Amino acid sequence: MIQIDSRAPVSAEPVRRTAARGGLPGGRADAAEKVGALVFLSDDVHVPTEQVAAFYEVPVEDVRHLMRQHRRELRAAGLAELRGERLRAFKERCADGLSAHDLRSSQLVVWSRGAVLAAGQLLPDSPVAAQVRRFLLSAEESAAVDRRLETARFTRFQERADYQGVLHSMKMGGAVSEDYRLIQNTLYAGLFGMTAAVIRESREQLDGDRKRDGSFTAASARIAKNYLTENELELLDNVTVTINAQLNIKYPRGATVDQMLGVVYNAVALFRPRILRVRS
């Protein structure tokens, strides 16, 4: 999407290139192909109103009526109105791509890709516009999925980083491998009612490193956090942050297994009141 500064000249070369190849496809071309052409149209290309009407297969007057009814929205999307010196310069450089009516006009409206897309959301009786709306809806749904996935990845990364503080404290306290497993299972059972092993056995894996064929690696399948939902990961991270805060205050030089168990119980109890707090 591009908005044209009223003080700056409009680039005519992109419009000339577009006009030379017909600009937006018009006539009765396949609607899906038209949408594809619009999507890949450069943001700095501008087309006249007649091309917009031909693209959507509606009378030019329908598009002009749309401009009168929704001028503010279309301007915000990239519609520009040229007059005076800017119009003269534009006509000189784009004469071969403009109609006789446009060449005689004392003002000229040009549409950016964003403005053409906006028109597609407003035109009620155009099959091409309906196709544009379906495309935009699909793109928005896809973007929402991508945002959710990115949030989940960040949450998993953040929890892993926070958990390093717990592991470091246990290491300084002299923990062995069995102690780490005990602390993890105490934490998971308090929050989710299951040990890490039960979570892995009873749930579908949601995240982790993948092989080339798209399946999860064996190493990622052994990590219980890869089976947790985004909300569960957020809860786990909040509790882990709370554990770290207690460790920094009470046991800055490291915590023994018993001390760590007390800290875990107390932190879990803040988020799961059914768990009795343990004094430590």
Q: Where are the domains of the chain?
A: 13-125, 151-271
Look at 11 and 174; give whichever has higher pLDDT.
Answer: 174
pLDDT bin (cut points 50, 70, 90) of residue 97 is: low
Q: What's the mean pLDDT when you consider all of the chain?
A: 77
Query: What percent of the chain has pLDDT above 70?
Result: 73
Reduced to 3 DSSP states, what percent helix, strand and coil does the chain have, rounded to the nearest 5?
65, 5, 30
- Of the listed ranges 132-141, 234-243, 244-253, the one predicted with least confidence: 132-141
pLDDT tens digit sequence for 190-202? 999 999 999 999 9
- Give the per-residue pLDDT at 141: 61
| Residue listed under structure tokens 């993890």 | 184
Burial class (CB in 10 A: 0-12, 13-18, 19+), 257: middle
- Give the per-residue pLDDT at 160: 58
Q: What is the mean pLDDT of residues 8-30?
A: 45
DSSP string, 176-221: -HHHHHHHHHHHHHHHHSS-HHHHHHHS----S-B-TTSPBPHHHH
Residue 160 CA to residue 184 CA, distance in Å, equals 13
Quote the pTM value.
0.43
- Give the per-residue pLDDT at 204: 94
Give the helix/strand (H/E) hosting 83: strand 80-83
Token pair, residue 106, equals 């004392």
- Give the per-residue pLDDT at 198: 94
- Give the per-residue pLDDT at 207: 85
How far is residue 191 from each of residues 61, 127, 208, 239, measured CA to CA in Å?
64, 52, 21, 9
For the cut 90, the answer to whether the pLDDT of residue 223 exceeds it is no
pLDDT bin (cut points 50, 70, 90) of residue 20 is: very low
- Residues 6 or more apart whose Cβ sits within 8 Å of residue 84: none
- Of the listed ranges 5-9, 97-101, 173-177, the one predicted with least confidence: 5-9
Distance of CA 226 to the CA centre of its chain: 22
How far is residue 44 from each of residues 16, 80, 103, 114, 151, measured CA to CA in Å?
12, 12, 21, 10, 32
pLDDT bin (cut points 50, 70, 90) of residue 77 is: confident
Look at 271 and 154; give whichever has higher pLDDT.
Answer: 271
- Give the per-residue pLDDT at 259: 93
Residue 204 CA to residue 212 CA, distance in Å, equals 20
Identify which of 40, 1, 46, 56 has the alpha carbon closest to the alpha carbon of residue 19.
Answer: 46
- Residues 6 or more apart whose Cβ sits within 8 Å of residue 40: none
What one-letter code names the amino acid at 194?
M
Residue 62: helix, strand or coil by DSSP? helix
Upper half-sphere CA count for residue 199 (Cβ side, 13 Å): 24
Identify which of 59, 56, 52, 24 has the alpha carbon closest to the alpha carbon of residue 109.
Answer: 52
Dihedral sign for Cα 202, 203, 204, 207, please: negative
